[in-house]
Amino acid sequence: MGEVQELQLQIMVQEDKEANASEHTKDVNQSLLPRPRNCMWWLQMALYTLFILFGQSVATLLGRLYFNNGGKSKWMATLVQLVGFPILIPCYFISPHKHPTTTVICTKQPSALKLTSVYVSLGLLVAAHCYLYSVGLQYLPVSTYSLIRASVLAFNAFFSYFLNAQKFTAFIINSLVLLTISSILLAFQNDSAGSNEVSKGKYAIGFVCTILASAGAGLGLSLTQLCFQKVLKRETFSVVMDMIIYPCLVSTFAVLVGLFASGEWKDLNQEMNEFKTGKVSYLMILIWTAISWQVFMVGLVGLIFELSSLFSDAISVFGLPIVPVLATIIFHEKMDGIKGISMVLAIWGFVSYVYQQYLDHQETVKNKNEVSKASASDRSI
């Protein structure tokens, strides 16, 4: 009799566990449903896009200005891409209210060890590709640098296909091709900062480093989206801030180690004194470069969180042709037909991608309406 009761008790416990697991799975699936794409959502996406375009353009121009005026430290050029994260900390206290349609999440939060592993891994990857990008920006002409950097879109598409189950439609493929070609065209213009200023060896180093940096950046974007989907599983503003601040904290420490280990820190005072436009200009360039990259990061991670890493990367590549145009206005460089064609193709590719997002939104609305009609029909019966 005792054995029978014990067996019945085990069956009841197992059934209870299965019921809890079912509710847990239901909560997870509900929590990962996309937010309704209303006017406020589109306004937020536009704001993230502007952050990417503004931050990337200003930071790239300031980075070129740093090297053009006597800056030589690759580690310092890398550090300013990351060290500005403390200015984002106040965002925790002014974060927007939770969306009213967001499902209350009852899932078990990831452990501290798992979160630490995510932040450290992403932080080290960010530090690596930021340093490689700095090497490329120092040794390559702007046009060649932009060309190679555009390859991050192809790397991201490759990794997104395997890591994020990214679906490719005709409009997405069209967008990727146009955005890539728009940046490739920049290689055919005459750049004032030609490769004659550096040796062939340094030019080759810059070329290889920028390719590796693009691959690392593409992988990092896909991994960030994967972490949102599989590890964090939360739809809050603070999650976005965490995915910016903590990896930047890790990467900043890594770059500081490199700065002191390489011995470049010893030459920074001399570099500032010999800077062509003066000490104040030297400091302002570094400070505003750091701020601009953080603005860029908010837009980048925000679009990954709301849409996908591939869309976020497409916006970033769309901004690459903007840099030569701004350089024409700020540095009075010559504006030729190739730059104009590049901008037209970039805008075309961008619109193609946005139109795909619009079609996805319309399909979502259509499915919701069909579900609502079916539910109403069931209730009437």
54 assigned to some structural domain: yes
Given its phi and psi angles, is residue 12 left (phi above 0), alpha (psi -120 to 50 degrees) or beta?
Answer: alpha
Q: Worst-scoring range by mean pLDDT, 72-76, 183-187, 338-342?
A: 183-187
> pLDDT at residue 14 above 70?
no
CB-based contact 119:246 (threshold 8 Å): yes
| Global pTM exceeds 0.85 | no
70 backbone φψ class: left, alpha, beta (φ>0; ψ -120 to 50): left
Q: For residue 100, give the 3-state DSSP assignment.
A: coil
Question: What residue numbers bound the domain in which 332 lies?
Answer: 40-70+77-94+111-189+198-362
- Residue 36: pLDDT band (50, 70, 90) is low
Residue 157 to residue 301: CA distance in whole angstroms: 16
Q: Is 216 domain-assigned?
A: yes
* 2 within domain boundaries: no
Under 8 Å between Cβ of 235 and 102: yes
DSSP code at position 186: G
> Is 367 within the bounds of a domain?
no
For the record, the structure tokens of 216 come out as 């690392």
Question: How far apart, in whole angstroms, are the C-alpha atoms of residue 261 and residue 255?
Answer: 10
In a domain, 16, yes or no: no
| Chain centroid, CA 220 distance in Å | 8
pLDDT of residue 169: 83
Mean pLDDT, residues 131-146: 83
The answer to whether the beta carbons of residues 357 and 303 sit under 8 Å apart is no
CB atoms within 10 A of CB 83: 22
Q: Is residue 103 part of a domain?
A: no
Q: Residue 332's pLDDT is what? A: 64
Q: Which residue has the higher pLDDT, 91 or 281?
A: 281
Provide the pLDDT for residue 289: 94
- Asked whether residue 214 is assigned to any structural domain, the reply reads yes
Give the C-alpha separation, 225 to 102, whole Å.
Answer: 19
- Tell me whether residue 27 is in a domain: no
How many domains, in total, are found in the chain?
Answer: 1
Q: What is the dihedral of CA 77, 81, 83, 84, to 10 degrees?
A: 130
- pLDDT band at residue 253 using 50, 70 and 90 as cut-offs: very high
d(Cα 238, Cα 244) in Å, to the nearest integer? Answer: 10
- pLDDT average, residue stretch 195-217: 81
